[in-house]
Copies of this chain bind each other. A is one copy, B any other.
Amino acid sequence: MVTALQSTSSVEVDSTLASFEREFGSERRDVSAALEECAANLIPPGWSDLGDAARYAMLGPGKRIRGVLLIAAYRAAGGRGDIAPLAAAVEIVHAYSLVHDDLPCMDDDDLRRGRPTVHRKWDVRTATVAGVAMVPLAVRAALLGAARLDLSSAASGAIVAELMRASGGGGMIGGQLLDLESHAAGFSLTDLERIHRGKTGELIAASVMIGGLAAGARDSQLDALARYGYDIGLAFQIADDVLDVTSTSDRLGKTAGRDAALGKQTYPSLLGVQGALDRASALIDDACESVKTSGLASDRLQQLAKFVILRES
């Protein structure tokens, strides 16, 4: 099996999904259970197709990396409560973004997480509407999560604001729009990093920041978490670009070779596969360094950072 970063990382980690499951399976299952609970409590039966589509998108298979990162950041900052509902909130935002990314007016993709995309299984209208409906769902999940932890008004507000900042046009959505223009001539590495900072980095950074905010982390620790989040977010996207070149649709659960087919500029197209992997490796080292020196209990965060680029799908 070929991993995104097989031999270039200095870190020795078993890179398989089985390894992630062994190390973080408990957190992943907590996030999935919280997602099930959100779907059961927040989607009324009357939604019919819309509800089915939102459930399909929220509860599909997935590693729940953002939710697991949120939990790890929360615990690293000393949190001990039931953080899973907040982890579900970021996963709902992520799931909505995938529904919209796959739309014909965006990437126009048929396959996601090994299953037909929402607009293929239903239609464009249902996918558009179900996607939008998931943003309020995520906010409600976050409010319930904050209430369950009995957080202060300031902390709940900061958490919802962070979730929304990452979900809005400055975050994922802006990144996605820029991404769609990334076949333009004269497209540079700086442009690409700006895209990925928005498209992947913002929500990953928000995930760890929300974990920190919920645990009452100090400002300097929140800064460290933000740096960590942006670094691994970018590394994650580089790994994604590399896997799009080196892996298969079957293994990825989504269409491989899609970037080249769409004529998009990517890390491998700008730096070559090896150059891209070196850049990802350096980012992970930086990310680990940020949290190591922050006074956070950072072992699990470092372990997760390495998984991000050693994954196979």
Contacts and interface: CB of A to CB of B under 8 A. Distances in A.
Contact of A136 (B51, B100, B147, B164): B164
Max chain B C-beta neighbours (<10 A), residue from A137, A139, A151: A139
A126 B177 contact: yes
Interface in A269-286: none
Nearest to A194: B46
Contact of A140 (B47, B123, B131, B164): B164
A143 B160 contact: yes
A143 B158 CA distance: 9
Interface residues of A, number: 50
Contacts of A131: 132
A180 to B, nearest CB: 7
A135 interface: yes
A173 to B, nearest CB: 5
A132 B152 CA distance: 28
A147 B156 CA distance: 12
A130 interface: yes
Interface string A162-183: 0111011110011011001000
A56 to B, nearest CB: 13
A169 B130 contact: yes
Contacts of A180: 125
B161 A143 contact: yes
A128 interface: yes
Nearest to A166: B136
A186 interface: no
A161 B49 CA distance: 23
B133 A169 contact: yes
Contacts of A135: 132, 135-136, 167
A189 interface: no
Contacts of A10: none
A130 B176 CA distance: 12
A169 B273 CA distance: 43
| 10 interchain residue pairs of minimum CB distance | A153-B153, A136-B168, A136-B164, A133-B169, A105-B125, A135-B135, A139-B164, A105-B124, A136-B167, A47-B169
29 contacts: A43-B169, A47-B169, A47-B170, A49-B177, A50-B174, A100-B128, A100-B129, A105-B123, A106-B125, A125-B177, A126-B177, A129-B169, A130-B169, A131-B132, A132-B173, A135-B135, A136-B164, A136-B167, A136-B168, A137-B164, A139-B160, A139-B164, A140-B164, A140-B165, A143-B161, A143-B164, A147-B157, A151-B153, A156-B157
Given A49-B177, A135-B135, 5 more contacts: A105-B124, A131-B132, A135-B136, A136-B164, A153-B153
